[in-house]
Amino acid sequence: MGRSSLLILKIATIVQAVVLLAITITWERKRHDNTANIVAKMCSECTDLLPRGVMIEDKIPENVESLISEENSTICCGDVKQMLELAVMKTALEKLYEQKIGTLPEVSVKVPCQPQDPPDIPQGRIAGVVGFLPTQWPGFHRLVWNKNNHTRISGGLQHLDLDGELFIRKAGTYFVSISLNLVSNASFLGPLHEYVTIRMSVLSHQLGYTRVVLENRSRPWDEKTLNKPVHFGAIFNFHEYDRLSLSISHPSLIALNSFIDQFIVIFQFS
């Protein structure tokens, strides 16, 4: 075989290698383009994504509401990652809620409550409404709480009893639980369609204004909920010097000096 033939053979081999490399690169790009937008989906009952006891009644959180199926309002569908994250969050919140409620001492008229956590952890439980103050929202009245008896504050958390506020001195994540016993009596009976609204507000030193961070709506004069305590809560990030308060649209439904009514705030971590 002559030199010219060998040269032609080498050139042909190089061309074949280049063509093969080009085909491989093109296939890899096509493969990436075809799979990049493929996202695994899954569906489940919406109740599997909503924690018990810590969510707002009659109001579905936006991150779950956006997943509700158009064909069936009880089914939620979304990305596998998003659905699993919501399910894990539900379980974690429920466990935390159960643990914290379980470790809090029971209210007793005879035995004073004793904090279960170390005294340096910011925590507070104020019990018993003694009055009301006007708010910036028309029709809403801020709850003023008892500063003695079953009210317990420790770890730097401060109860501003004259203002009906809890004062945060240590920034971080806090667990909040609210329990109010709304009593319908003969002097005040609302229409069945009317809601009673309870709000938790935060006056932020850092932001410079007051905002509503949690809201509960219920019908206490409905036969299904008549004279039953309203329980709700959540987990929040608070800044130093935040001031927390509760307000209600129908103060006539709050029985004064009832230690069943409680506002609990417990520090979790920074």
CATH value at residue 250: 2.60.120.40
For residue 123, which of 213, 238, 207 has the smallest C-alpha distance?
Answer: 238
108 belongs to a structural domain: no
Give the tens place of pLDDT for each residue, 10-56.
555 554 554 454 455 454 454 444 444 445 666 777 777 776 654 44
Percent of the chain with pLDDT over 90: 34
Q: What pLDDT was estimated at residue 270? A: 86
pLDDT at 110 over 50: no
Residue 146 lies in a domain: yes
Domain count, the chain: 2
Structure confidence at residue 215 (pLDDT): 93
Average pLDDT, the chain: 75
Claim to verify: residue 149 and residue 60 sit in the same structural domain: no
- Residue percentage of the chain with pLDDT more than 70: 60
Residue 87 covered by a domain:
yes
Domain annotation covers residue 223: yes
Final residue belonging to a domain, choices 74, 103, 132: 103
Whether 260 and 127 share a structural domain:
yes
In this predicted structure, the answer to whether residue 255 has a pLDDT above a threshold of 90 is no
Identify the pLDDT of residue 54: 42
Q: Are residues 265 and 215 in the same domain?
A: yes
The predicted-structure confidence for 75-95, as pLDDT tens digits, reads as follows 788 776 677 777 767 666 666
Residue 21 has what pLDDT?
47
Examine the domain organization and report whether 264 and 130 are in the same domain: yes
Strand partners, 262: 127, 179
Q: Is residue 86 part of a domain?
A: yes
Q: Is residue 17 part of a domain?
A: no
Write out the residue range of the structural domain in which residue 68 sits: 41-103
Highest-pLDDT range among 56-70, 83-97, 135-149: 135-149
Same domain, 93 and 179: no
Phi, psi (degrees; rounded to nearest 5) at 190: -90, 165
Residue 9, classed as helix, strand or coil, is: helix
Same domain, 95 and 182: no
Tell me, yes or no, whether 114 lies in a domain: no
Same domain, residue pair 184 and 236: yes
Verify that 62 and 136 share a domain, yes or no: no
pLDDT at 60 over 70: no
For the stretch 111-142, what's the b/e string if a residue is b when 16 or more beta carbons lie within 10 angstroms of its beta carbon?
eebebeeeeebbbbbbbbbebbeebeeeebbb
Residue 21 in domain: no
* Cα–Cα distance measured from residue 45 to residue 47, given in angstroms and rounded to the nearest whole number: 5
My answer on whether 178 and 239 are in the same domain is: yes
* 127 and 255, same domain (yes or no): yes
Distance of CA 108 to the CA centre of its chain: 29
In this structure, the answer to whether residues 131 and 243 fall within a common structural domain is: yes
Q: Do 51 and 182 sit in the same domain of this protein? A: no
**CA 264 → CA 58, 69, 81, 202, 235, distances in Å?**
22, 36, 33, 15, 12
- According to the model, what pLDDT value does residue 158 have? 95
Tell me: pLDDT of 187 over 60: no
